[in-house]
């Protein structure tokens, strides 16, 4: 059920993001609303539910690029696993820690995306330019996470997941 809710939210929020980014006239800066959902899935959902949710959010982002390659579902899964591993050390249940995880995930996601596109494209250095928008992207994604928090809280079952990356 929560998987379906997150999937529908991903389509809606990415559509909204694409329109807002156009309206604001951003060039290489984006708002990683999808990542905010992946972080939530890693922190608050069960392994199976969270993994499918993260995969689908990445899949939708991949479709939105216009040239789906499989990069973003893979990155979403990597971020999902790393956030889950980090949550063993830091409790991610409060709003502040959720925003901290979202900021870290945005930086990590951008770096991994640039690395993998650099690895496979002819003009790899061109993709590095997208990193110039990362600082603003982190701030905007945190703001988006803050705005989404009340909505995401409603999806939270309130149960504390058992500790472990694949718990």
Partner 1 sequence: MFNFLKRHRELLIVSVLLLWPLISFLTTGHRGRAPNFVDRTVLFASTPVQSLLTWGVDGVSDAVSGYVALRGSHEEALECRTELSQSQAELNALKEMQAENLRLKAMLNYSEESVDQEIVARVIGLNPSPQYLSIRINRGEDDGVRTGMPVVTPDGAVGQIVRAVGASADVMLLTDPSSRVGGLLQRTRVRSTVLGTGEGRRLAIDLVRREDDARDGDIVVTAGSDGIFPRGVRIGTLRTPERPAVGMFMKATLEPSVDFSRVEEVLVIPVTMGIPSAAMGKGTP
Backbone angles phi, psi at 161, to 5 degrees: -65, 150
CB of 59 to partner 1, least distance (A): 7
Cα(67)–Cα(151) distance, integer angstroms:
31
User: Which ranges in the chain belong to alpha helices (H)?
Assistant: 2-24, 33-44, 47-64, 71-86, 95-120, 124-128, 134-155
**Residue with Cβ nearer partner 1 (97 or 130):** 130
Within 9-68, the residues that bind partner 1 by CB under 8 A are 11-12, 14-23, 25-34, 47-48, 51-52, 54-55, 58-68
Cα(39)–Cα(43) distance, integer angstroms:
6
Place of tokens 């991903």: 10
- Dihedral of alpha carbons 13, 11, 107, 62, sign: negative
What percent helix, strand, coil does the chain show, rounded to 5?
A: 75, 0, 25
CB of 61 to partner 1, least distance (A): 6
Max CA pair span of the chain: 48
Among 38, 57, 78, 83, binds partner 1 (CB under 8 A): 78
The contact pattern for partner 1, residues 85-124, with x = CB under 8 A and - = no contact, is: -------------------------x--xx-xx-xxxxxx
CB of 101 to partner 1, least distance (A): 19
**Residue with Cβ nearer partner 1 (68 or 97):** 68
By the criterion CB under 8 A, which residues form the site for partner 1? 11-12, 14-23, 25-34, 47-48, 51-52, 54-55, 58-74, 77-78, 81, 110, 113-114, 116-117, 119-130, 132-133, 137, 166
């Amino acid at each position: 059920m929560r998987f379906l809710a997150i999937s529908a939210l991903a389509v809606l929020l990415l559509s909204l993001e694409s329109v807002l980014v156009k309206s604001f006239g951003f060039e290489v800066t984006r708002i990683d609303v999808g990542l905010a959902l992946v972080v939530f899935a890693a922190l608050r959902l069960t392994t199976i539910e969270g993994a499918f949710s993260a995969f689908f959010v990445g899949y939708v982002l991949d479709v939105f690029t216009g040239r789906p390659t499989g990069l973003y579902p893979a990155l979403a899964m990597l971020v999902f696993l790393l956030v889950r591993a980090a949550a063993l050390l830091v409790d991610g249940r409060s709003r502040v820690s959720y925003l901290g995880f979202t900021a870290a995930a945005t930086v990590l996601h951008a770096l991994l995306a640039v690395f993998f596109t650099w690895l496979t494209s002819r003009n790899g250095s061109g993709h590095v330019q997208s990193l110039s928008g990362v600082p603003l992207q982190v701030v905007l994604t945190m703001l988006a996470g803050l705005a989404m928090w009340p909505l995401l809280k409603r999806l939270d079952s309130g149960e504390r997941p058992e500790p472990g990356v694949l718990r």
